Structure 1
Amino acid sequence: MEYHVQTYIVSTKSFVDNLVIEEVTDVYSNGTFEFNITTVFLNFSEISSPSTIFDNLTCPMLFYYIPHPGKEVVDRQIPLTLVNETGNYYVYEGVSYIGYVGLRYYYYVNSTGVPSRIVIYQIGENGEVVSVSTYTLISSNLINSEEKIILPPNLRPASGITYLGNLFPSSLTNTIGSYIVLFNIIAIPILIVIKRKLMRKY
């Protein structure tokens, strides 16, 4: 699956554009599957190396797929609760906190179980919206087996996340909110991978 991710930074009225790509690479008899996640940083024409994640086949914790949409509660790493339903179209909400900063997630899902849109609001410690990240589905071979990943040309290997400091003024990068913004934009996939690899060791 491929998503275009656009993050709007409220304080600077700036946009950061990424592609997030999930590709299933193997399915195992013990009820788990393996997939790679790759991020394309469109503002910089850079692409990350794919990272491997293992997930539950019947109830994915991380992969962008919700089996049996319509359930009131979906058990994921960030649990989701059904907040709206119109025909075969469902809206789920999830909330997580990092210190005093909140992340509020909305998954828009139809009967296929593949989210057509995911919106993440980052809420600052005073209740203000710091950033809004919108994931828009570009392609999914879970819906259409003929669909392929679409990559822009002339991508370079990603050089790391430190260059993001050039995108934002120091007034933003010196606040805790800025670190959560950067976490929301890029570091979530990286930290998830690290956490999963550590869990596999024990």
Structure 2
Amino acid sequence: MLVGYARTSTLDQTAGLAAQERDLHQAGCEKLFVEQVSSVDVTARQKLTEALEFIREGDTLIVTKLDRLARSVAHLHELLSMIQAKGAALKILDMGIDTSTPTGKLMLNIMGGVAEFERSIMLERQREGIAKAKAQGKYKGRKPTAMSQAEKVKQLHSEGMKPVQIAETVGISRASVYRCLE
């Protein structure tokens, strides 16, 4: 059975959702799982969970685009493992990838490797840029917020104010108040 999954991040993306549903129907999907929820909170993606529970051996889960399914390469591999453990396959329409074929599996793994490589290069460049800026005295990092209020926190505490009241008065967290008092 061909099972489709469509998702948009916000409720105002109805045109995008309708286009996904249309493409999934054209691909032959007999059952669709559709939701409008951010990919960041994986626990909120109830329809994805239902789709993964629904698929059986020999089924194919179809998505129009990779970003509609997974939020990262690690998440993609986690989902792919779940799909393959059920004896099902994954098909990504816009990339022409079908993991029921050896070539599709290879392409997905290559893409995942390239994405991880690009991410690590980007982080390395970012670290180098920060180190260079620090050496030139241009990068100071984030300005400390709570510790800059330490004297005021200590003064209010010595006047008998409770940590919760100090936190509200100064505009920092209760935990920060305790750190200032140590």
Question: When the two structures are superposed, what TM-score results if normalisation uses the length of structure 2?
Answer: 0.23
Tell me which protein shows more strand as a share of its residues.
1
Say which structure, 1 or 2, has more relative contact order (CA 8 Å, 6+ apart). 1
Tell me which protein shows more helix as a share of its residues.
2
Question: When the two structures are superposed, what TM-score results if normalisation uses the length of structure 1?
Answer: 0.21
Return the index of the structure with the highest Cα Rg: 2
